[in-house]
Every structure is written in structure tokens, then in C-alpha cells.
Structure 1
Amino acid sequence: MLWNDLFTAVALLLVLEGLMPFLNPAGFKRALIQIVALPDGVLRGFGFAAITAGLLLLWWLRG
């Protein structure tokens, strides 16, 4: 069952990641240009926040 859950999560991630470039490609390009201009520390902060939020959500859902 673990593999099924993992593949389901990856499939959902792909769907969510594909929404922005599909619905608004120009806005997606602008966002990427702005992201490239951010300092590494800010990107790491966003990454850490996303990881923390994801782990807390998993803990809450699977608790």
C-alpha cells in the first residue's frame, strides 16, 4: 500500500505543478524570471517552509 500512496502523491504533484503553465503560460514565465532573481537564501527559506508545511500536513493527516 505504501507504493500506491507514493505514486498517488507523485501523480497529484504533477497535476498541481502543471496547472500554472497550462492555465497561464505568460504569468508562469514572469514568475520564473522573478524566482531566478531571488537570492539563494530566500529560495532556501521558501523550500524549508514548504517542507515544514508538507511534513506537518502529513503528520496531521496520517497522525
Structure 2
Amino acid sequence: MNSTIWMALALVLVLEGLGPMLYPRMWRRMIAALTQLPDNTLRRFGGGLVVAGIVIYYMLSRAAG
């Protein structure tokens, strides 16, 4: 796999870890609220994140190459 992908994954892990590390109570409340959402809403939210990630990756790869 390309080293850029590994660097991006590392950055995602760092950013994802900041929430529970810095704001554990707020993070716990957010997770509890997410468990109450219907499956369809979670799927749409996840799909939106995937599309946003692909678009950002495409834009950055075009700018770099």
C-alpha cells in the first residue's frame, strides 16, 4: 500500500483518539446518543463520511500528482 495511505490512516487514528482522551464525558454522551439513532440514519451518516473522504483523497492526489 502507498505510504501516503498509511500516513493518512495514522492521522485519522490520532484525530479519533483525541476525543476520548481530551473529553471523555462528552465522548461517552455522544456515543450514547448515536446508539439511539435508527440504522438508516447511521448508514447515511457513514456513507456521507465515505464520500467526503474519497472526494478529499481525490482532490489531494490530483493536486500532488
TM over 0.5: yes
Q: 1:52 is matched with which residue?
A: 51
Instruction: Tell me how far apart the structure 2 counterparts of residues 27 and 60 of structure 1 sit (CA, whole Å).
Output: 33
Give the structure 2 partner of residue 26 of structure 1. Answer: 25
Structure 1 CA distance, aligned partners of 2:22 and 2:41?
Answer: 26
Deviations 1:17-54 (A, max 9, x none): 00110110000000000000000000000001001101
Q: Deviation of residue 6 (structure 1)? A: 2.2
Structure 1 unaligned spans of 5+: none
Equivalent position amino acid for 2:50 in 1: I
In 1, Cα distance between equivalents of 2:58 and 2:12: 18
1:7 CA displacement: 1.8
Amino acid at match of 2:9: V
Task: Using the TM superposition, give the Cα deviation of residue 9 of structure 1 relative to its aligned residue in structure 2, in angstroms.
Answer: 1.4
Backbone CA RMSD of aligned residues = 1.2
CA offset at residue 10 of structure 1? 1.5
2:38 is matched by which residue type in structure 1? Answer: P
